[in-house]
Structure 1
Amino acid sequence: MEIALNCFTQIVRQGMALTLAFGALIPAMDAARAAEWPTKPVRILVGAPPGGTADIVARLIAHELETPLGQTVIVDYKPGAGGSIAVQSMLSSLRDGYTFLLIQKGIVSEVPHVVKAPYDPFKDIVPIAQLTRSSLILVGNPGLPAKNLGELVTYAKAKPGKLDYANFGVGTRGQTMGVQFNRLAGLDVGNVNYKGSPPALQDVMGGQVPLMFDGPATSMPFIKAGKLRAYAVASPKRMAALPNVPTFTELGYPDLQDVSWMGIWSASGVPPAVIAKMRDATLKVTQSPALRPKLEQMGMEPGSLATTEELSKDARESYERQGKLLRSINFTPD
């Protein structure tokens, strides 16, 4: 009996030793895989439909990333639920560094106020690097008699409750900027919800809805083609691509200033070494002199060198501001 017990004890000890040894090998194996990464195509999920700002940036960035990564970069569209479907798709993928997300910071600052998602936007996903920065533009149908912002305010005040503005998503900046403009200018302009910029812009150009706060990447081509009139930009300074369009600050509305950013995001749990490599590759692309003119033509700027921690902090602060504004209008999701 004693001999059997000793044998059993020895076997258990050997098993524990093997388990500990194997466990110690796992970090080394992960480090080795991270050192080789990437060894196959990298997939970037886009939480918006083709034709919008995210699509335009995704195709541009994906192409540029192929050089520093040495691999094909595939753009995979997962639109719906304000980007939450794309987030869930990323979270359900292997945490091996071959699936990332390209989306606006609104995925954590705006969407959680609108969609009850089965994940924590501040714990389950993390920003890796900032890609672009941009501000919204107040655009209108060229058929409006108002030729500038001052005339637009006068025109809207003469028609209380008769005008509407389109937005590209419930609870987004496209809606809340309109709320702020109403308050600051003393207007009563209604709000019409759309699922994305393209259909909203089509109705603005078609005259169904006269106004819209939109991102420059989608509205810029129509502004330059004369199919939309740009009244003002919400950026701190004038956009290089629209030098003749004043800022809201210049026109007496300094509180109508908002800069948002789009970034590459990862699921938590991806090896840190892989995250570091993806961040380095992304920053090489965004800081490349060749990229700046391409982005400026679309009314955007290259992203900053902000760290992951700084980006997370900024997103959290934006979440608090957006929530406060939505609560002030008794906002309830549709």
Structure 2
Amino acid sequence: MPNHPARFLLRRATLAALLTLAMPAAMAWTAKPVRVLVPAPAGGTMDVMARLLAEQLSADLGQPVVVDNKPGGGGAIAINTLLAAPADGLTVMVTATNVLTEVPQIQKTPYDTMKDIRPLAAVGRSRVVLVGAPNLPPKDLKSLIAYARANPGKLSFASYSAGTASHYAGAILNQEAGMDLQHVPFPGSGPALAQVMGGQIPLMYDGMVTSLPMIRAGKLRPYAVASKTRSPLLPQVPTFAEQGYPDLDFSNWVGVIASAQVPPDVAQRIQGAVYKAAANPKVRQRLDALGYEPMPAQSLQDLNQSLHAEFDRNAGIVRTFHIKP
């Protein structure tokens, strides 16, 4: 027991030394320009994250870090581009996990995201929220469901891509609440939200990051948050679980991935650089303001395991609720 404090101090000193040694390794990720792919149009949830990280990484690395938007195909265009690039760590991708764990459940792809992709860093989490046009008569979820039942075949909901939680949530609520809202997929949140705010499409299940500014500005009405607990960003908005629909529990982390062929040592250096950039106080403050909930740093192994668990859960949802393209 007398030596316990000494052992504690030694471990802490050793950890500090390791972190100090790891910092140059992270910074030595590359001395060349980096391309950051985004599987969505400019202005969406993933794009916002990518540009924040790219700006800080460029400052940290002293190299250009260029964001390259490749929307379409439920992420397939961007992932194909990623896998076609040399596996040298100079091409990475900022994406939400739905592109890896949701879309492949109902869309055939020439790749296997669980084998061909290596998750490197989970930076922030975004919950799904049901929003509607402000001129919709219903003011809450209960009255919205009643309104939809009274107007069969007349309402629709938008998603930011087919085969994502934005699609799953609508299919599940349709079945559980006895509604028949038609699904209208879009290539990203931006164009879908424009249609909702314009009144062309009444509803959308969206990531909170992109909807939150419009909710705060009164341009969208929030009906429910798809999580077990209320969001600290929208504490006045009840969850689906509170209102009798616990199956609607969806969030995605957004972060950095690479080809699984990228060597482990390079992957480790990229991870270190990304987590360093994300921990920058200015970056963290901007991510918080945008509605990203912070996530603790995870090892490459832990990230891979959690990604597989999310993939398996979504496979079960697709089977249970017979979700189709």
**2:280 is aligned with 1:283:** no
Query: Which residue pairs with 1:298 in the alignment?
Result: 290
* Distance in 1 between residues matched to 2:71 and 2:183, nearest whole Å: 23
**2:54 is aligned with 1:62:** yes
* Distance in 1 between residues matched to 2:159 and 2:200, nearest whole Å: 13
Query: Which residue pairs with 1:239 in the alignment?
Result: 231
- What secondary structure does 2:258 align onto? strand
* Distance in 2 between residues matched to 1:184 and 1:85, nearest whole Å: 34
Per the TM alignment, residue 329 of structure 1 is displaced from its structure 2 partner at its CA by 4.6
* Distance in 1 between residues matched to 2:244 and 2:296, nearest whole Å: 28
Query: Counterpart of 2:157 in structure 1: which amino acid?
Result: Y
* Aligned counterpart in structure 2 of residue 259 of structure 1, from 233, 251, 270: 251
Pick closer, same or farther for the CA change 1:259–1:329 going to 2, 3 Å. Answer: closer
Query: Which residue pairs with 2:17 in the alignment?
Result: none
Which digits, 9 at most, give the CA deviation of each residue in 1:232-270, with x for residues without a partner?
Answer: 112343333323222223333333222211121111232
Query: Which residue pairs with 2:178 in the alignment?
Result: 186
**2:232 is aligned with 1:249:** no
Pick closer, same or farther for the CA change 1:314–1:166 going to 2, 3 Å. Answer: same
* Distance in 2 between residues matched to 1:184 and 1:330, nearest whole Å: 13
Pick closer, same or farther for the CA change 1:221–1:36 going to 2, 3 Å. Answer: closer
Query: Counterpart of 1:284 in structure 2: which amino acid?
Result: K
- What secondary structure does 1:94 align onto? coil
Which digits, 9 at most, give the CA deviation of each residue in 1:19-45, with x for residues without a partner?
Answer: xxxxxxxxxxxxxx9995411122111
Per the TM alignment, residue 188 of structure 1 is displaced from its structure 2 partner at its CA by 3.0
- What secondary structure does 1:102 align onto? strand
After TM superposition, the structure 1 stretch with the greater mean CA deviation from structure 2, 124-133 or 292-301, is: 292-301
TM-score by length of 1: 0.82
Does the CA-based 8 Å contact 2:155-2:182 persist in structure 1? yes
**2:226 is aligned with 1:227:** no
Does the CA-based 8 Å contact 2:189-2:210 persist in structure 1? yes
After TM superposition, the structure 1 stretch with the greater mean CA deviation from structure 2, 118-127 or 242-251, is: 242-251
**2:39 is aligned with 1:40:** no
* Distance in 2 between residues matched to 1:237 and 1:260, nearest whole Å: 15
After TM superposition, the structure 1 stretch with the greater mean CA deviation from structure 2, 35-44 or 205-214, is: 35-44
After TM superposition, the structure 1 stretch with the greater mean CA deviation from structure 2, 263-272 or 234-243, is: 234-243
TM-score by length of 2: 0.84
- What secondary structure does 1:191 align onto? strand
Does the CA-based 8 Å contact 2:136-2:202 persist in structure 1? yes
* Distance in 2 between residues matched to 1:104 and 1:238, nearest whole Å: 21
Query: Counterpart of 2:148 in structure 1: which amino acid?
Result: A
Q: Over aligned residues, Cα RMSD in angstroms?
A: 2.3
Which digits, 9 at most, give the CA deviation of each residue in 1:4-61, with x for residues without a partner?
Answer: xxxxxxxxxxxxxxxxxxxxxxxxxxxxx99954111221111111121111111111
Pick closer, same or farther for the CA change 1:300–1:201 going to 2, 3 Å. Answer: same
The number of residues matched between the two structures is: 301
Counterparts of residues 91-170 of structure 1 (less than 5 Å): 91-170=83-162
Pick closer, same or farther for the CA change 1:184–1:286 going to 2, 3 Å. Answer: farther
Structure 1: which 5+ residue stretches go unaligned?
1-32
Does the CA-based 8 Å contact 1:90-1:267 persist in structure 2? yes
Per the TM alignment, residue 205 of structure 1 is displaced from its structure 2 partner at its CA by 1.5
* Distance in 2 between residues matched to 1:47 and 1:70, nearest whole Å: 25
Query: Counterpart of 1:239 in structure 2: which amino acid?
Result: S
Does the CA-based 8 Å contact 1:165-1:178 persist in structure 2? yes
